[in-house]
Each structure stands twice: as structure tokens, then as C-alpha cells.
Amino acid sequence: MPRRSPNHRAVEAINSIDPPDDVTERALWSAYRGRLADDDNVVRAIELNAGSSRDCLRGWLLATPKDDEISRRTRVPEAVLQVFRYLFFDVSVFRDHFDLVEWAKTLRLEQGSTREGLQYIRWAIMYGVEAVAYMSGLPTNLDPHLVQAQAMTDGYFRALIGRESDIDSAVAREALKHQQIAVTQAAMLAKRNPSGGGSVAIKLKHREMTSTIEVIDKTTEVLH
């Protein structure tokens, strides 16, 4: 069964011959026909959807379901966020993570999408709400422990990919640097969690990495 578009309610309301029964959809229907919309929240949601902020806001909505947090950090009223989510970005249409990723890959074909706008979507899916805040030019709330863990993870898997290259190649040398970063971060994390972190550092440093990687594109990220 084909996935519905995240803005399916807006499309159906706008294309309706008669005014929809739902009050929010009816306000949208009126606005698109040049009539006075009696709901300021709908008017603002329309503005956000039509402007350059659309993909930024969609990134926020993908990164967290907490409208109160988004409102606190962006100053967009919760009522506007709820209308935007209802009319223009119904995230419940995504059946699973793979469905979401597939939708994100097709966004470049969408009229009005920009390279920067698509980056909000990609970073929301891959890195979460703090990445969207960073791209939005807003303060971030980063836990140093999580930063270390992410650096360890990124370094470890980038090293794995690079180990598939010739031993004397620049890619292999770069992989060694990533491995050293991963080991360093793992050792630091182990000091904070002596019960289980030490074994992580040892495994990262001494694990055999001879199995082939046949399905990973070494030049791109999953959503590029």
C-alpha cells in the first residue's frame, strides 16, 4: 500500500469542493480561496509551510514529538505547531524507519526544497534534536558523555570501513586515525564506567577486522 504524503490532510482540504467539516481544515480551505481565515494559528502554519522555514520546522518535528520543547526553543506557539503537524506534516504516515529514510531521499525532487532545507531533515533523522538546534542557530544542550560516546562510535565504524582499503592507501591511514580516536574516547569512557567500559576499549583496539564489507557505500552517508 503506497505511503500517504505527510501533508495529505492539507491536500484533501484544499482540493475539496465543499468546505470540510473539520474546523482546522475548513480554515485552510477558506484561506486558499482568498477568504478570511478565522484561525490565526492556521494562518501562521500556512506561512511557515510556504516559506524557507518549512524544512527547518519539519526537522524539529522529526527530531522530537515534544511540542512544548520545540515551542520553548523556537518560540513558535504550541498551537501553531499542532496545526502544522496536523495539516502539513503528519509523521504517523511513516510506517517504519526505512519508510522515513526513503521519503527523505525523494525530497530533493520536491518543488521548493533547498540543499540547506534537506540538511535539516537528514540531520534530524541521523543526529536528533540537538543537531537541528545547532543548524537553526539556537543554543544546544549537549551532554559531554554523549559527545564522547558519539565520537567513539563514529571513529570505530569509519575505521572499519577504511580497513577494507589497501594497507598503504590514504584511506587506510585515515582509518587508523579514526581507530585511534575511537580507542581514546573508549578509554575515557571506561574511566567513568569501570564496570564495563574497559572491555570496550580493549575490543576496539584488538578486534580482528578482516571480514569484508560488501554493502556499504564508502563515499556517502545513508541519506546523501
The average pLDDT across 153-169 equals 69
Q: What is the mean pLDDT of residues 65-88?
A: 95
- Do 22 and 62 fall within a single domain? yes
* Residue 219: inside a domain: no
Is 39 part of any domain? yes
Task: Check whether residue 33 and residue 130 sit in a common domain.
Answer: yes
Domain co-membership, 114 together with 23? yes
Same domain, 30 and 116: yes
Q: Same domain for 175 and 123?
A: no
Domain annotation covers residue 218: no
15-32 pLDDT, tens digit each: 999 999 999 999 999 998
DSSP labels, 144-199 = HHHHHHHHHHHHHHHHHHHTTS-TTSHHHHHHHHHHHHHHHHHHHHHHH-TTTHHH
Q: 138-141: long-range contacts at Cβ-Cβ below 8 A with a sequence spacing of 24 or more?
A: 138/73, 138/74, 139/73
Counting the structural domains of the chain, the total is: 2
| One domain for residues 152 and 131 | no
Same domain for 61 and 113: yes
What would the grid cell of residue 141 be? 544542550
Amino acid 51: pLDDT: 79
Q: Is residue 129 part of a domain?
A: yes
Kindly state whether residue 87 falls inside one of the protein's structural domains: yes
With respect to residue 12, please indicate whether it lies within any of the assigned structural domains. yes
Average pLDDT over residues 181-200: 67
Let me know whether 19 and 129 are in one domain: yes
Q: Are residues 188 and 89 in the same domain?
A: no
Domain that holds residue 34: 8-135
pTM above 0.75, yes or no: no
